[in-house]
Structure 1
Amino acid sequence: MTEERFVNIETKISYQEDLVEELNKIVYQQQQKLSQLEAICASLTGHIQSLNEAGNINKTLNERPPHY
């Protein structure tokens, strides 16, 4: 009876270790993607700021649409 319990416990631990490893991989991939998105966001922010400093944004934001 105790041998069977040990086998069941070892089996459950093995499945949990596999699950933890898989979850760690997913978290790592999500962190990589988050880093990429942060870099893209920073790049876009810089681009918008440079356009704003050049005066291109203010002109287009303050223009009235053609239907006015």
Structure 2
Amino acid sequence: MRCYFHLVNGEDAILDDTGVEVADLETARTEALRAIQELRQELDGFTDEWMGWHLDVVCPQGTVLLSVDLKTTVH
């Protein structure tokens, strides 16, 4: 299934218009956590400006399948 990873905070959104093919929802969750980790590395952590943001995993029909807060600890 194709999933899209949108960064949202209620007022603003950074939309993923490409998406990624994943086998199942657990794989989508793993990819979301990986994306958050990569963002942290690129930004050298998250500043206050990222407070309230989360990563929504969305199906092609626009339904949010899961949402991960950017503050989530990635193991």
TM-score, normalisation: structure 1:
0.31
When you count helix as a share of all residues, which structure comes out higher? 1
Instruction: Compare relative contact order (CA 8 Å, sep 6+) and give the higher one, 1 or 2.
Output: 2
User: Would you tell me which structure has more strand in proportion to its own residues?
Assistant: 2
Which structure has the greater CA radius of gyration?
1
